Amino acid sequence: MAGAGNAIRGSRVGAGPMGEAERGDAAPRQAVTYYCSHDHRSVVTFAVEATAPEQWDCPRCGLPASTDAENPPPAPKVEPYQTHLAYVKERRSDKEAEDILDEAIALLRSRRKSGDIIF
């Protein structure tokens, strides 16, 4: 009967029951249920005196969740990655870009004529 000795593994003789009496009473708590747009339900426990936040990130999918089961918050809009050139093109027209390029070329040519070493 080798398995009989495993029943009390991890405790010592005379230790008594482990529980509330040794650790003290648990603080009063409130359970708040949050719902995300993927129909996930998450229950989060807070202290009674704490103010529960309006939104909480869903632990299953990461989307924002709220306490309103009928109207969960929508998923945030994800902007696609844009290159630096795409951002520049948003700010400048082709004509403005041409003017800036012509100005830069003229400056380089004038510096070259004056003897500056340009790499």
Structure confidence at residue 24 (pLDDT) = 72
Report yes or no on 119 lying in a domain: no
Query: Which CATH number is 46's domain given?
Result: 2.20.28.270
Structure confidence at residue 27 (pLDDT) = 84
Report yes or no on 15 lying in a domain: no
Answer yes or no: are the C-beta atoms of 58 and 64 closer than 8 Å. Answer: yes
Report yes or no on 46 lying in a domain: yes
Contacts (Cβ under 8 Å, ≥6 apart) of 11: 18
Domain that holds residue 97: 84-113
Report yes or no on 66 lying in a domain: yes
The model's pLDDT over 22-45, given as tens digits with 9 standing for 90+, comes to 667 788 999 999 999 999 999 999
Report yes or no on 68 lying in a domain: yes
Structure confidence at residue 9 (pLDDT) = 63
Total domains in the chain come to 2
Report yes or no on 2 lying in a domain: no
Report yes or no on 118 lying in a domain: no
Judgement on whether residues 70 and 96 belong to the same structural domain of the protein: no
- List, for the chain, all residue ranges whose pLDDT scores fall below the cut of 70: 1-23, 119
Does this model's pTM top 0.85? no
Q: At 29, which helix (H) or strand (E)?
A: strand 29-36
Judgement on whether residues 60 and 97 belong to the same structural domain of the protein: no
